[in-house]
Amino acid sequence: MAAKQLQEAERRNGAASNANYGKSIQDFDPPKKPKRNKFAMACAILASMTSILLGYDIGVMSGAVIFIRKDIKMTYVKEEVLMGILDVYSLVGSAAAGRTSDWIGRRYTIVLAGAIFFVGALLMGFATNYAFLMFGRFVAGVGVGYALMIAPVYTAEVSPASARGFLTSFPEVFINVGILLGYVSNYAFSKLPQNLGWRFMLGIGVLPSMAIGFSIMAMPESPRWLVMQGRLGDAKRVLHKTSDSKEEAELRLVDIKEAAGIPQQCEDDVVQVPKRNKGSGVWRELFLHPTPAVLHILITGVGIHFFQQASGIDAVVLYSPEIFTRAGITNSDLKLLATICVGFVKTSSILIATFLLDRLGRRPLLLSSVTGMIGSLVSLAVCLTMIDQSSTKLMWAIVLALLSTLSYVAFFSIGMGPITWVYSSEIFPLRLRAQGCAAGVLVNRVTSGVLTMTFLSLNRAITIGGALFLYAAMAAAAWAFFYTMMPETQGRTLEEMEKLFGRFFRWRTSLRDLQEEDKKEVNGNVDGSRRGEVQLGEGTNGNRQG
């Protein structure tokens, strides 16, 4: 018996040796993290390019208004209305974008956004008076509203879970690229005659809108929208291209089919969708009769958009030449060069954020960002107040004011800027996503419009330092809101989000419950594997004993 057992052991060892023959030590390493999905990244880049339109308008108008003011003789009230009215006009596009994207699809809505902005840029470039210019701002604003809503939605729906934070931060990246391009355009055309320079600055915006319109046609439709239309075959093909593995693509399809009300056994390329959603009832579920989870999601999604703008970013960026003038920089060329520095720092910082979102998580990055913004705003407010009250030129205060402005936009771009769009686009459930994001963008643009259209008046009422102290107070309120109300969403699928929300200030309890579910699932899989091994071992022993 002992001899037979020894022979059996030698046989098993020999089989194991043969199985491992020819393998190197690397073959026994743990599996490597999947590489970035290049196709999903390309789709996210193309969709997010629409955000250049808003960024370009913000950047170019901050410098162009210097020349517009002289050419068409505006009062300061008309000036601040001209600067901020695009945000109000964009509400039209944002309100229509949710329904439009559910009707014609995410991709064609992006094309529509570029086409509308193209017309608006032409009208602004050929404007002959203030009323004509305001009409051009209206048309461009509608295009911006469409772009702001649809780019994060499409990117979130096409992104694999492993890179969703990285990819859905792209819209904010391209807003910053657009701001930088606007600043460069200001400087490039500033030497032209006064009546031509600002028209070229505004009219040249047709170029990015044309590029966007043509390039978008190369990308696929959102897989979630395709499923909502019953086009399962097309959705499967897109999911296989935009997922890290075949298994992930299948899991994403299962989740989307469940959310759309399609039975899991349906495998046809085209199926009937029992709960086809064209937007009817969505607003009622969002605002009139929301569940606790939906209400928590709505408050958080709208709140982060409100605080992003209430902390003063668009006012500081749009009126950066005015801030530099108050700081003591009076030369036009130097002011435009300083604004280019602002755009460069803002764009560089957002690139850093894209690589940290999926490593550090949303909450740590957001809270650190807002802390830095509070300190920078207080420093800038103190410097400008001292410069305003001093009868001599305080060189140290001028330098510190410039550095505080740069640090403020840097801290904003590292966290608050990109996370607003990432977070709001991933927390709404599929049936409410387009309209929920539209509500967030609406609040974002209203808040931005109010701030930018009151900045000059606020300066005259409570001084520029007082205005900046007010923005610092709003940033402090934002920090408290984020800390108490916002769960961490890193690593969660879009379909898991409703489980995280619903307990408001006690969201950590929901997070612990989800973590316990994950542990049970993992332990269940491990136990199942062990039971299989034990059963196999018992069967072998039984054969030997028999």
Q: What mean pLDDT is reported for the chain? A: 80
Distance between start and end Cα atoms, the chain: 12
**pLDDT value of position 528:** 53
| Reduced 3-state DSSP string for 221-254 | CCHHHHHHCCCHHHHHHHHHHHCCCHHHHHHHHH
Give burial (CB, 10 Å; 0-12/13-18/19+) of 386. Answer: middle
Residue 31's identity, in one-letter code, is P
pLDDT band at 69 (very low <50, low <70, confident <90, very high): confident
Confidence of residue 441 (pLDDT cuts 50, 70, 90): confident
Give the pLDDT confidence score for residue 510 in this predicted structure.
64
pLDDT of residue 81: 87
Domain ranges of the chain: 37-272, 291-523
Residues 62-67, mean pLDDT to the nearest whole number? 84
pLDDT confidence of residue 468: 94
* 3 state DSSP class of 166: helix
Q: What is the DSSP-derived secondary structure letter of residue 29?
A: S
DSSP summary character for residue 189? H
pLDDT in tens, 366-394: 999 999 999 999 999 999 999 988 878 88
Q: 59: which residues sit within 8 A by CB, 6+ positions away?
A: 178, 179, 180, 181, 182, 183, 185, 186, 317, 339, 343
Q: What is the DSSP string of 459-519?
A: HHHHHHHHHHHHHHHHHHHHHHHHHHH----TT--GGGHHHH-SSGGGHHHHHHHHHHHHH
Whole-number CA gyration radius for the chain? 28
pLDDT digits (tens, 9 = 90+) for 97-137: 878 888 888 888 988 988 898 999 899 989 888 999 999 99
Q: Is 271 left (phi over 0), alpha (psi -120 to 50) or beta?
A: beta
pLDDT at 2 over 60: no
Fold type of domain 291-523: Growth Hormone; Chain: A; (1.20.1250)
pLDDT digits (tens, 9 = 90+) for 393-429: 888 888 999 999 999 999 999 989 888 888 887 888 8
Q: In whole angstroms, give the CA distance from residue 22 to residue 322.
A: 71
pLDDT at 348 > cutoff 50: yes
- Beta carbons within 10 angstroms of residue 257's beta carbon: 19
Distance, CA of 210 to CA of 421 (rounded, Å): 24
**37-272 with 291-523: one CATH topology?**
yes
Tell whether the torsion through CA atoms of 35, 38, 43 and 46 is positive or negative. Answer: positive
Q: Which helix (H) or strand (E) holds 328?
A: none
209: tokens are 């809108």
Report if pTM > 0.75: no
Using alpha carbons, list the distances in angstroms from residue 445 to 205, 309, 411, 478: 20, 8, 21, 17
Q: Which has the closest alpha carbon to 324: 314, 311, 313, 339?
A: 339
Fold that domain 37-272 belongs to in CATH: Growth Hormone; Chain: A; (1.20.1250)
- CA–chain centroid gap for 531, Å, is 45
Q: Is residue 517 over pLDDT 70?
A: no
Eight-state DSSP code of residue 34: P
Angstrom distance (rounded) from CA 424 to CA 409: 21
In this predicted structure, what is the pLDDT of residue 1? 47
Mean pLDDT, rounded, for 214-227? 85
